Amino acid sequence: MRAVAARVTRASVTVGGEVVGEIGPGLLVLLGVHRDDTADAVGVMARKLHELRILDGERSCAEAGAPLLVISQFTLYGDTRKGRRPSWSAAAGGAQAEPLVDAVVAALRERGATVATGVFGADMAVESVNDGPFTVLVEA
């Protein structure tokens, strides 16, 4: 499981012209699932994201009570080493990825996090105002 976490002053996701998720200062998380990922990665990823110390003053969402906007993104496993067209063969298919993404969101909420989401598999427009900018890659 792989995530790109960006510290933001605000972020939102729109589907079909309607805002379906938005946050103020916190983390925008683009979350990808690898074809070999299992439920074992869920708790690890949720803990890492919730406790990632990249907010102001080197605080985490857990410490600051900051929200997360989690959006599924299979393209994080795109392979561009050959040719000009990415290969998506490492990314999990929707039937495998969707429950794992949902499980990470549920695990974050169980930890007390405020979590907004996109819509799995939808054509989403994501807007963010990066803070810093400060963006890191998180793997579980």
Active-site residues: which are they? 73-75
Q: Which amino acid is residue 82, in one-letter code?
A: K
Q: Give dist(CA 84, CA 11) in Å, integer.
A: 31
Cβ proximity of 33 and 96 under 8 Å = yes
Burial class (CB in 10 A: 0-12, 13-18, 19+), 112: exposed
117/22 Cα distance (integer angstroms): 8
